[in-house]
Amino acid sequence: MREPLEKFGAFLVRNLRDKMLFDLDMLLRGAWKAPGLQERQKRVSDFSDAEKQVVSDVVESIIRAGMHDLLLALQEEADNAGSVRVLVDGEEVAKLSDGLQAEPFGEDGWIVRYSEYPSQTDIDLSRWATEQIQKMFGDKGPEKG
């Protein structure tokens, strides 16, 4: 059953990725009221829309890489009988996936399904990867070749 895996995915996307992107959005819009953030907000307030988009793209890329690397490490721990485990409803999520690090991404990944900040970049990367696999293996696909 994949229900614990989906619960984990929704939790990770909403409580890690979306919270970081929300914080970034608030910063770039100058919406934080916290005194400790005013200086940082002031420094980015003069950025053009294009510069703000570059910052947003870079931060999103870093978040994507961090999620991938964390999930890959969890998958490797599970595959190698390591000591770090993530359990949801008593089930180890890495054992429920054939590649935990890929679950967030793609047209039907966790980000598309659970995020308040869906990523066209992730969808585009997924389409590109699918096209590359089809070019390499033709209609057979890698599992049939």
Classify residue 50: in a domain, yes or no. Answer: yes
Say which residues have a Cβ less than 8 Å from residue 137's Cβ, sequence separation at least 6: 144, 145
- The number of domains in the chain is 1
Spatial separation of the C-alpha atoms in residues 129 and 144, rounded to whole Å: 18
Q: How confident is the model over 115-140, as pLDDT tens digits?
A: 998 777 766 766 776 677 778 887 65
What per-residue confidence (pLDDT) applies to 138? 75
Classify residue 141: in a domain, yes or no. Answer: no
Classify residue 142: in a domain, yes or no. Answer: no
Output the CA–CA distances (angstroms, integers) from residue 32 to 42, 54, 99, 117, 141, in the order listed.
11, 20, 38, 19, 49
Classify residue 130: in a domain, yes or no. Answer: no
Q: What does the mean pLDDT of the chain come to?
A: 89
Q: What are phi and psi of 88, to 5 degrees?
A: -130, 125
Whether pTM > 0.85 for this model: the answer is no
Q: How confident is the model over 17-59, as pLDDT tens digits?
A: 999 999 999 999 999 999 999 999 999 999 999 999 999 999 9
CB 96 within 8 A of CB 2: yes
Spatial separation of the C-alpha atoms in residues 103 and 94, rounded to whole Å: 10
